[in-house]
Structure 1
Amino acid sequence: MLAVAAFAGVVVVFSAWWFGPDLFGRHEPGNERVVPATVTMGASCSEPDAEETVRFELDGETRNGTLGACGHDREDQVEIAVPVGAGSGLIDVRIAATTRGSSDLRRPVGLGLLALSCAGGGMYAFLVARGPRQRAVLI
């Protein structure tokens, strides 16, 4: 009985691993273009909601954008992600190596939690199937 529960848990974890990062959420690629940029006005990291200003080339045109980051000096070079349908004026951009609202720990943490829940469910099934135990009374 315990072997069946363990096998079912392994099948569930393997299936989750096989489906890949899409199971735990993934940033949609193709909605942004990665371009090099130059920081024109840095921001101190002691400021709340620090934003820096960057200058970059987009479709042969020099553009400016606001970057939600801090700690860069003027004229520092950074790689940024620019939304594909960016309009005119200041564009909200982000550092290219980051993703909004997600982290690279999603998959290992998600798989770890899934494995723990499988183990907990298997142990519960084992205890229910085993039933209550009789206590030995010593006389």
Structure 2
Amino acid sequence: ALAMALRLNALIFTGLIFLSVTRIEEFTYGLNKLGLPFRVSFALTLAFRLVPSFILSAQTTIQAQKSRGLDLETGNLVQRIKKFIPLLIPILATSLRNAELLAIALECKGFGIKKKRTSYLDYKFGRNDFLTLLTIFLLYFLLLKIF
């Protein structure tokens, strides 16, 4: 169980490092180069980008309700879950408002137009990239064997 927890922790930590050092444009470009349609690549990168803002919005709402006297720490598990239900409405309202603003922004930028997309990014996969990727995979499999 400990080995599985360490593997899961390593996977999550690696993903967080990747997302923190990779720009959204580069991630979308990379997914496009792997053969994914632009809409799918954009949806994936948008999901990665919106999760932190959703969590921040939820934390803000919870702090606001706690300042009004909502106690989320007392009671058994069922009572604590029931106390979170009133928080869902403001969190969902904020999320819907943000989604509507995003839809308007995408429409203004001509997102749905069927023209061939261009990118200012143009990366070539070279020898150094291959060696770096090979080294990372070898280290990853070595760590999997050890743990």
User: TM (normalized to structure 2)?
Assistant: 0.30
User: TM (normalized to structure 1)?
Assistant: 0.31
Higher Cα Rg: structure 1 or 2?
1
Between structures 1 and 2, the one with greater strand share: 1
